Structure 1
């Protein structure tokens, strides 16, 4: 490849391909909740910059006290992929649902207080922080989960042929990170987790998010009913949109991921359009909701650390944040599950390790949820 033809870092404009898929007979499982969390960092940083300028130090400490953290490095020890020193960073972003407290009335499903993570994204920040890649990992992917030790020091045995999201349920954040590192061969530099109710509050504090749907969406499981057209979604509606599964596409988790990625782009655009700096109270309310919703790794467990991290994301917006789903195929033995398309997935992880563009061939012919163009930024 010549210098003139070398692509800039990023992901091809296509979010996967249109591989054929027929809905399986019978009912699928009810959907779990989905959340998004990366932009919380930018909101928090903006709030602290303004509040710090007013000398409102006590507000800083209030926000600082909101943040929960887990010591991933201590739990995982040294048996991890090497950190690549090429200026890039990789962040595992999870959505969690404890089915307890304020989450309980929102979630549906079982109400046993157990923790679940049904949204997982590897966010790769390229050198220079002008572009990012987001690779969603389907919760229904069948994987071999490695032995892992949780943050309480309890060891959990390895397991074969289990769903990806069982890692978080089994051993919490540390086990989820170890599983992703085992799956990708990439070291996760940071960990961010946003809870179910926190997502709803963040959208409401932002004043809603505008999206356009190209078809009617009706899903009683996620309590979402939208006619085709443009809508400003409040927190409850946004939560319904990123949870919905039966209302669009082929009814699979892959279709839901495509909706989530479209919503994230709309969310980024919304943040860019809101004059947060003109309203310090709104900034604080947003930062307060953001930090209350967050769990981070111990390297990001202060407002100062979050602010520094967020400042590095200011140059990234929807047009230079490319999103795909990890290459998978439907499991021939169970159409409600997917399996990793090994050779193509390796193309994805190799590109990220080298801080390069993911080739279009990585997603060619892989499974798709058939919901790519249902939702767009309003």
Structure 2
């Protein structure tokens, strides 16, 4: 997200002043880290989003959003692969004293202690599940990200099914509409009373990220240095980043040719199942070859062969 906004503003902004606004941490477990990132080989990034990072009680430390961002070689396409938050997985032992066990994947963040430790345990869990190693990771504070959307003047979101927020009681009616940060983030957190449940929530989160990229491209940030400064600071302030040793300016340069309309959303083939009176999501045939496609750089072909799991953004 920072790369996209900076690409709109220009490279000079990031090389000094704005890079210092980003918090740097080791977010990837050793087993989940790609030994060396070569930008010509494409990228696999882990994106973990939560708007409750400061919470101290266990349940409120669970990750709200888990995305694998896959960019094939050439940097002309991008795929947002949403991991179901209730996916049943084997979580390895964590550095926070957790001994490991079967649980929902979003609880790995909690078992790791939240923050960077939670991201490391989550990354180890994903690598054990998928075999994918990551070139980097970002921990996004979506509560702080509200400011980014507001500074951009809001984003356009298209509501497909009427739903009432369980958090604010706001009623979202069908149709395309302008949303400020609080309203957009409230909408993309909803999953109850939607026909697809968490799958709809995943799709809405993907659509929100695309809408932010679209708005950043439409907004005249180059012609308004004051707004550009505020947006970049807000984006940087909402991120904790692990670039696997790659300078941020090199990452920005590699991704600047990736247009927002080249993004596709993918859902992991899976289905809901109740086990011991607990609702989980389980993989459909091991993910129906999606993870193999990511590792083998065959995602475009997989998406064409599996349109059911492709999200229109």
TM-score, normalised via structure 2 length: 0.85
1:1-378 matches, within 5 Å, as 39-44=1-6, 46-47=8-9, 49=11, 51=13, 60-61=16-17, 63-72=18-27, 76-77=29-30, 87-98=41-52, 100=54, 115-149=61-95, 154=96, 156-160=98-102, 162-171=103-112, 172-250=118-196, 252-297=197-242, 299=244, 305-333=247-275, 336-343=279-286, 345=287, 347-356=289-298, 357-360=300-303, 363=306
Q: Please say if residues 40 and 290 of structure 1, whose CA atoms lie closer than 8 Å, have aligned partners that are also in contact.
A: yes
Q: Secondary structure at the match of 1:339?
A: strand
1:222 is displaced (CA, Å) by 4.8
1:255 is displaced (CA, Å) by 1.5
1:300 is displaced (CA, Å) by 6.3
> Against the structure 1 CA distance between its residues 186 and 225, is the aligned structure 2 distance closer, same or farther, given a 3 Å change threshold?
same
User: What does the per-residue CA deviation read over 1:347-376, in whole Å, with 9 as the maximum and x for residues that have no partner?
Assistant: 11111112122525875777x9xxx78xx7
Q: Secondary structure at the match of 2:258?
A: coil
Q: Please say if residues 81 and 185 of structure 1, whose CA atoms lie closer than 8 Å, have aligned partners that are also in contact.
A: no
Structure 2 portions without partners, runs of 5+: 113-117
Alignment RMSD (CA, Å): 3.1
> Against the structure 1 CA distance between its residues 262 and 77, is the aligned structure 2 distance closer, same or farther, given a 3 Å change threshold?
closer
Give the Cα–Cα distance (whole angstroms) in 2 for the partners of residues 361 and 173 of structure 1. Answer: 31
Give the Cα–Cα distance (whole angstroms) in 1 for the partners of residues 308 and 10 of structure 2. Answer: 45
Q: Secondary structure at the match of 1:156?
A: coil
Show the counterpart of 1:15: none
Give the Cα–Cα distance (whole angstroms) in 1 for the partners of residues 37 and 225 of structure 2. Answer: 39
Show the counterpart of 1:29: none
TM-score, normalised via structure 1 length: 0.71
Number of equivalenced pairs: 305
User: What does the per-residue CA deviation read over 1:240-286, in whole Å, with 9 as the maximum and x for residues that have no partner?
Assistant: 11111225324x21121111122222222222211111111111100
Which protein has greater RCO, CA pairs closer than 8 Å, 6+ apart? 1
Give the Cα–Cα distance (whole angstroms) in 2 for the partners of residues 184 and 365 of structure 1. Answer: 20
Which segment is superposed worse, 118-127 or 212-221? 212-221
Structure 1 portions without partners, runs of 5+: 1-38, 105-109
Q: Please say if residues 88 and 280 of structure 2, whose CA atoms lie closer than 8 Å, have aligned partners that are also in contact.
A: yes
Q: Please say if residues 347 and 362 of structure 1, whose CA atoms lie closer than 8 Å, have aligned partners that are also in contact.
A: no
Q: Please say if residues 77 and 258 of structure 2, whose CA atoms lie closer than 8 Å, have aligned partners that are also in contact.
A: yes
> Against the structure 1 CA distance between its residues 300 and 244, is the aligned structure 2 distance closer, same or farther, given a 3 Å change threshold?
farther
